[in-house]
Structure 1
Amino acid sequence: MHASANILVPAYFYPSFDPAQSNWDEMTAAASKTNITAIMNPASGPGSAENSDYTAAINAFRAAGGKVIGYVPTNYGARSQADVLAEVGNYQNFYNVDGIFLDEMSNLASNLAYYQTVYGGIKAINSAYSVFGNAGTNTLEGYLTAADVLVTYENQTGYEAYVPDAWTQNYAADRFAHLLYNVASESTMLSNIALAQERNVGYVYVTDDNNSNLNSINNPWDTLPSYWNAEVNAVATPLPASGLLLLSGFGLLAIGRKKFSAIV
């Protein structure tokens, strides 16, 4: 059986009323082609009340086969656990989401207990929630007890030289995610996706968005990439059990089969 990856989209953009300009509508159209999980982020968290525009967008996206998780910042373990869990509760009350994205996750041993407690609290609110933890860099193996999926790379440069921790090879690929921005060309996007899969990473997202967008402040996730359709097709294409993957402009890259299992 061949395995395909999942796209994890930091969907930090508002659902537009105009379908021709709505990134959420574009994700919905692609959700039947491959596995897509979108991170919703109405107000650096769920906000204080339900937003009907988000409700309509995420319901349509989920009906098409997508999954939605809610953004919650943790300030690297310095934020009150009660405040974090209160926002998780707001997502539960306001929106039909599939899980939680804990941003600003520490990778220090001294903060592991904090995140284990938060993880337990999230599961107490909804045991079916998938919990994503974003350290954005290599982290300790123990953090797998505090998240179902760990984001171990979030950056715009150096992905080719990045070296994942050896212990990550001992787990299913869908325990890990990588997020790349400011990747200008489609050919580089394709090679990065192949490299992520080779590195046993089950969730990946690559965009040409960057911090220079005048409509945002330090947000390289405020629009889908210009090569979105090509990215969807690349992730939807199963890897061979062993063999070669043809990359546009990059020749042939040897790829081995990786194990993927479902998050429930």
Structure 2
Amino acid sequence: MMNRARIFLIGVMMLFILSGCNTDSTSETEVGVKKMLVPLYSYPSLNDSWERLIALKQKTNNLEIVAIVNQSNGDFTQPSTSYINGIDALHKAGIQVVGYIYTDYTQRPVVEVKQNIDAWTEFYKTYGLEGFFFDEASRNEEDFAYYQEITQYAESKGLQFNILNPGTSVDPIYMEGDIASVVLIRETTYEKVVYKTNLNQPTEHTKKAIVLYSSDEENIAQKVCAYALEHDFDYVYATDHGTTDDRWAELSSYVDELAVLISKGCRD
């Protein structure tokens, strides 16, 4: 049996070790590691955006990137060799890939959305597709069941990483109902977003994203990062391209700078 002095010494040593572990854990949490959510809406061989994103991932390996790929707004019945090769290349580079599907704020019949899910799954799951980006999502409580049904259907296909895009704050049930991995609650310009209030809070299962367009202010990458960090966004992206539908046709001109900042937790 050990004497009291030895027991006391061992106790102090264990406390020191545990304290060190907690300190490391806390500092890691404080870093607030961010991720990049990129609307990669260009055709795979149309420009160099896909290759640039892969190179960016290889150069900034600790950065988590989610790419939203968009074949015919998600409404197609045949696979594309270009998309097969592109999705496969993104996946092999360590980039998460989700497929675009629009919901027209619940005006699209659920059966049509499920058909889109089936097509994406049949043609691209084996090449690395991990889920879906459901665009034009409602923010209203009464529409929650619609999105619950389509996300559960996606999960039944083995595609677990699903994103809703209302582009604005939502009823809390969307964050608390555990139906999506991410909700994109800010899609606007930096000029407008800095005045936005009523931000949802992330939950254990559902994180929030911000995607900005037509944002080219001085030091914009640093400003976007600072805003995202202040308001607990986990997924971030911004581009200087304009307000038309082609704003996602090419990567942001400052995407490399933004990626480096995000990879450092947006703290530099």
- TM-score, structure 2 length as denominator? 0.80
Native 8 Å contact 1:154 1:180 kept in 2: yes
Native 8 Å contact 2:140 2:171 kept in 1: yes
State the Cα distance separating 1:148 from its structure 2 match: 1.8
1:208 is paired with a residue whose SS is: coil
Corresponding position: 1:44 with 2:73: yes
1:158 is paired with a residue whose SS is: helix
State the Cα distance separating 1:164 from its structure 2 match: 3.8
Alignment of 1:1-264 (within 5 A): 1=28, 2-16=31-45, 21-32=47-58, 33=60, 34-45=63-74, 47-95=76-124, 96-126=128-158, 128-144=159-175, 145=177, 146-156=179-189, 157-165=191-199, 168=201, 171-172=203-204, 175-185=207-217, 187-211=219-243, 218-238=245-265, 245-246=267-268
The residue type paired with residue 186 of structure 2 is: Y
The residue type paired with residue 16 of structure 1 is: S
State the alpha-carbon separation in 1 of the partners of residues 132 and 70 from structure 2.
Answer: 11
State the Cα distance separating 1:159 from its structure 2 match: 1.4
Root-mean-square deviation over aligned CA pairs: 1.8
1:120 is paired with a residue whose SS is: helix
Q: Specify whether residues 3 and 173 from structure 1 end up closer, same or farther in structure 2 by C-alpha distance, changes over 3 A only.
A: farther
Q: Specify whether residues 38 and 223 from structure 1 end up closer, same or farther in structure 2 by C-alpha distance, changes over 3 A only.
A: same
State the Cα distance separating 1:16 from its structure 2 match: 2.0
Native 8 Å contact 1:13 1:221 kept in 2: yes
State the alpha-carbon separation in 2 of the partners of residues 61 and 135 from structure 1.
Answer: 26
**Greater Rg, structure 1 or structure 2?**
2
Percentage of matched positions with identical amino acids: 26
- TM-score, structure 1 length as denominator? 0.82
Native 8 Å contact 2:221 2:257 kept in 1: no
Q: Specify whether residues 173 and 200 from structure 1 end up closer, same or farther in structure 2 by C-alpha distance, changes over 3 A only.
A: farther
State the alpha-carbon separation in 1 of the partners of residues 40 and 106 from structure 2.
Answer: 24
Structure 1 portions without partners, runs of 5+: 213-217, 240-244, 247-264
Cα deviations by residue, 1:91-126 (Å, 9 ceiling, x for unpaired): 111113011000010011221111111121111122
More off after superposition, 43-52 vs 196-205: 43-52
Native 8 Å contact 1:173 1:200 kept in 2: no
Structure 2 portions without partners, runs of 5+: 1-27
State the alpha-carbon separation in 2 of the partners of residues 151 and 130 from structure 1.
Answer: 13
Native 8 Å contact 1:190 1:231 kept in 2: yes
State the Cα distance separating 1:226 from its structure 2 match: 0.9
Q: State the aligned residue count.
A: 230
Q: Specify whether residues 209 and 104 from structure 1 end up closer, same or farther in structure 2 by C-alpha distance, changes over 3 A only.
A: same
Structure 1 outlier segments of 4+, above 4 Å: none
